């Protein structure tokens, strides 16, 4: 199993209450930064109709999908009730100002 922490860029490159995209061979991952400077990584694909979550408005630990305004919880990947659905989440951490993303090729492939 190939699992490794990958440096995906500097923390400052992600805007507060915003997101950036990491492109992989198995689809995009959205990297979010909240108002409190927490960082989250989720699959950039809304469980509803596949909207790019990275393009949504970030409030608290939630993002609103730009297509139909579903709210997705960034820590769990769960849609906020009463909507039902789930998006894959990825481990991410900030070390010395650099964002590290834990990627597992098999898992990534499975959720693509």
Partner 1 sequence: MAEKLVLIGNGMAGVRTLEELLKIAPDDYQISVFGEEPYGNYNRIMLSPVLAGDKSIDEIMLNDDDWYQEHDITLHKGKKITEIDRVNRKVIAADGTTENYDRLLLATGSRPFVIPVPGHDLPGVISFRDIHDVDNMIEASHDYKQAVVIGGGLLGLEAANGLMLQGMQVTVVHLMDSLMERQLDTAAASMLKETLQERGLQFQMGTQTEAILGDDRVQKVRFKDGTEIPADLVVMAVGIRPNIELAQQAGIHCERGIIVNDTMQTFDPRIYAVGECVQHRSLSYGLVAPLFEMAKVCANHIAKMGIGLYQGSVTSTKLKVTGIDLFSAGDFIGDENSEELIFQDAARNVYRKLVVNDNKITGTVMYGDTIDGSWYFDLMRDKTDITDFRENILFGQAHLGDSGHGDDNRVVMMADTAEICGCNGVCKGEIIKAITEKKLFTLDEVRAHTKASNSCGSCTGLVESLLAHTVGGDYSVAPHLKPMCSCTDHSHDQVREAIRVHSLKSISAVMDSLEWKTDGCSKCRPALNYYLLCQWPDEMTDDSQSRFINERAHANIQKDATYSVIPRMWGGITNPTELRKIADVADKYKVKTVHVTGGQRIALYGLKKEQLPAIWGDLNEAGLVSGHAYGKALRTVKTCVGREWCRFGTQDSTKLGIELEKMTWGSWTPHKFKMAVSGCPRNCAEATIKDFGVVCVDSGYELHVGGNGGIKVRATDLLCSVKNEAEVMEHTAAFMQIYREEAHYMERTAPWIERVGLTYIKEKLLGDPDKRKQAAERFLFSQQFAQEDPWEARAKGAQAHEFAPLKIIA
Kindly list the residues in this chain that would bind partner 1 in the complex (CB under 8 A). Answer: 6, 8-9, 13-18, 20-25, 28, 31, 35, 49-52, 55-60, 64, 66-67, 69, 71, 82, 103
Q: Quick one: 46 or 77, whose CB is closer to partner 1?
A: 46
Q: Quick one: 66 or 86, whose CB is closer to partner 1?
A: 66
Q: Give me the least distance between CB of 86 and partner 1, in Å please.
A: 18
Q: Quick one: 22 or 87, whose CB is closer to partner 1?
A: 22
Q: Give me the least distance between CB of 19 and partner 1, in Å please.
A: 9
Q: Quick one: 41 or 77, whose CB is closer to partner 1?
A: 41
Q: Give me the least distance between CB of 48 and partner 1, in Å please.
A: 10
Q: Rounded to whole angstroms, how far apart are CA atoms 47 and 88?
A: 9
**CA 22 vs CA 8, 80, 81, 99: distances in Å:** 8, 24, 28, 11
Q: How many residues does the chain have?
A: 112
Query: Within a 10 A sphere around the Cβ of 80, how many other Cβ atoms?
Result: 14
* Whether 81 contacts 91, CB under 8 Å: no
Phi/psi class of residue 41: alpha, beta or left (left: φ > 0; alpha: ψ in -120 to 50)? beta
């Amino acid at each position: 199993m190939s699992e490794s922490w990958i440096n995906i860029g500097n923390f400052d490159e992600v805007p507060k209450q915003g997101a950036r995209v990491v492109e992989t061979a198995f689809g995009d991952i959205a990297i979010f930064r909240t108002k409190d400077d927490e960082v989250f990584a989720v699959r950039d694909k809304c469980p509803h109709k596949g909207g790019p979550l990275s393009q949504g408005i970030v409030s608290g630990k939630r993002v609103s999908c730009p297509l139909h305004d579903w709210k997705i919880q960034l820590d769990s990947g769960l849609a906020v009730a009463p909507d039902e659905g789930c998006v894959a989440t990825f481990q991410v951490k900030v070390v010395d100002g650099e964002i590290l993303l834990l990627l597992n090729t098999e898992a990534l492939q499975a959720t693509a």
